[in-house]
Amino acid sequence: MKGVHETLQQYVSARNVSASSEAPQLTQQVSSNASLPSSAPPSTTAKPASTDIIINNVDLMVDPCPQLSALPIIDNLTQDEFISKLTDGCRYDRLIKPITDKPLTVEIQIDMKHIESADHLQFKSHILVHLYYTDSRLNYSKISPERGEIMGEESLRDKIWVPHIIISNERESGMMGLEGKDVIVQIKPSGEIRYSYRMTTTFYCWMNLQKFPFDYQICRIQWVSWAYNITNLKLKWKLPEPYRVAANLHLTEFILEDKWCHESNVTASFYLGVLSGNSSAVDFVFKLRREVGYYIMDYFLPSMLLVCMSWVTFWLQADASAPRVTLGTATMLSFITLNGGLTKNLPKFSYIKASEIWFLGCATFIFCSMAEFAFVNVIWRRRKKVELKKNSSKHILKGAITPSLARKQLRKVESMNSLYKTRSCSSLDGENAKKNSQQNYLTVHSFPTNLSVPTITTQSQDDLVGSAESVTTIQIPEDGSRPPTPPAWTTMTPQEVANWIDKKSRVVFPVAFIIFNVLYWSFVYAL
């Protein structure tokens, strides 16, 4: 109605100009007719009545809300006045999307300014978003041909229809701005609109941490149409440059290796009536690789040094219980504390991570070094010597672990040798020996041949073996051959065995740890 009143004012002012031009003529006519009789009516009394009739007729013929194309050329209006006329509520409804034969196409373009890790499953980013679409109701090329693009901020955004686009995997989002929202709306004469805003968003990125901290993650930001389904609104990337990432973008914990974008559809969760159905979406996907420099310097190298520190006990004497126990427990506690600082901020996943494999391996080496001290300390405190069949690693370990078995074998061989020495080979009767081959007897010259002689038994002299195990039955060979030559048995003191185990551990533990490192780092980088 404001436009109608302005049109009427213009018409009335035009009539006033014409009336003022006719005023001298009317004055002259009135003065010339002054001599006429008073009974004669003046000829100008009908003029005001005709003017009122014309104004009323114009008021009836004016359209209270003309179409935008029916308005006269209004280039002389200010931008605020022009926007008010362009978006008048009688002809423009900002709650309704532009009417199109096909789904309205909204193109999106993003400019990522900053990204950082907010948590192990969340990222925070600052993004400048541009939305491009066409609203034919705002085509003003005919009513204001000399006017260029219209640009406004939040107040202009509130007067026109803008698409409602959300980030589906966001935790929280917000418009950025110091004194107001950082929003810009540009309208071209053809009705093309660019709606730009600056936002900060914290979004979820579901990570796979099986190879942590040598992992890489693929994250995405998904924009989805909120109010309209795919039959009403279609989201697309603005080609040929759909996205732009700041050249100086640097993440503190990750390296941005790759990035790409694609379009998709999102299935509706529930039936919501007319607007239910699949929604259009666009995805910005990027690949992040974790920086391992921090973890190498603050976790892996210190843990290697702690494992090597646990080997210092191999150079201490076996009976030095206090320093060896203190060193072993302090090393284990330090390593557990070091690992706790790494895992305290990690989410609790059920699967085993690469960092946990490293922790278990290093903890096993530290524990084995403590167990080695307990073993050599027990051997050191023995009183009897260790009898060895051979001076080799196998027999030293066997004699150190089971010393009673070695002594049993030694006593058995000595008993056999003493028995053979008491036998007289010259007094044996070969024929009688063959007849009594089913039993082994000891034959003496002065005894008759049919004399039954019991078998000879010997009693072990080992004071460590019980009496029930000390009786051994020796069978004399039938062919009269000499017993086998006993092996050259040696002995070592318990202190010598303990020192020998420590010396071997100085080599075995480092070699085993090197093999573990080769396997672990091959798994990390090769698989």
Each residue's pLDDT tens digit, 30-40:
344 434 344 44
Quote the CA–CA distance of 251 and 197 in Å, as a whole number: 23
- CB-CB neighbours of 417 under 10 Å: 12
Residue 272 pLDDT > 70, yes or no?
no
Residue 80 pLDDT > 50, yes or no?
yes
Quote the CA–CA distance of 237 and 235 in Å, as a whole number: 7
Query: Nearest 10 degrees: CA dihedral of 63, 68, 71, 76?
Result: 140
Q: 272 or 34: which carries more pLDDT confidence?
A: 272
Is the pTM higher than 0.85?
Answer: no
Q: 162 or 343: which carries more pLDDT confidence?
A: 162
Q: Which element (helix H / strand E) includes 28? A: helix 2-32
- Could you give the angle at the alpha carbon of 527 between the alpha carbons of 256 and 521, nearest 5°? 90
Q: 264 or 66: which carries more pLDDT confidence?
A: 264
Output the average pLDDT for the chain.
Answer: 77
Quote the CA–CA distance of 387 and 464 in Å, as a whole number: 14
Average pLDDT over residues 244-269: 88
